Amino acid sequence: MFQVPPSRRRSLSVTVVRSEPQVADGLADYLKRRVSCRVLLALPSAKKGPLTSDVVVIYPDGFKAAQAARVVKRLVGNPTVCLIIVVTAAVERYRVFESVRGASSRLLVLQEPVWPWTIFATIQSGVPKLRQAAANLC
């Protein structure tokens, strides 16, 4: 299975925001073999925490819709987050944020279910420095 060497692994930080601890921990365990990853289980802590990450993977369906939409909007407006991946059953609710200026290349909305390796491949293809590092491995 593809794994990024430890020297490159820590150069990318990913935050997973999900209300279900078992699922979030499973995704985090998978991602930690490849990138630096942490899990947030509540949206109040997601207001500031993910803003320091390169990539944020958010599963908004387990939270109140209005609160989750505010967090996604805040992430889209933050220039330090390279990639925002929203995994949801309500795809159309979050696609509206793609029209925000500059968000089209930074925001991806994926329909549930999504497997951990799909999320990693999305991160790998969506973040330039990881894409370049992976190309150097071949």
State the CATH architecture for 6-129: 3-Layer(aba) Sandwich (3.40)
pTM of the model: 0.81
Please identify which residue in the block is written with the tokens 């089209």.
104
Average pLDDT of the chain to the nearest whole number: 80
pLDDT for 9-54, tens place per residue? Answer: 557 889 999 988 888 888 999 999 989 998 988 876 555 656 678 8
Under 8 Å between Cβ of 130 and 42: no
Domain spans of the chain, in order of start: 6-129
SS3 31: helix
φ, ψ dihedrals at 12, nearest 5°: -125, 130
Task: Give pLDDT, residue 129.
Answer: 59
Q: What pLDDT was estimated at residue 60? A: 93
Question: How far apart (Å, rounded) are the C-alpha atoms in residues 129 and 67?
Answer: 31
Count other C-beta atoms under 10 Å from residue 47's C-beta.
15
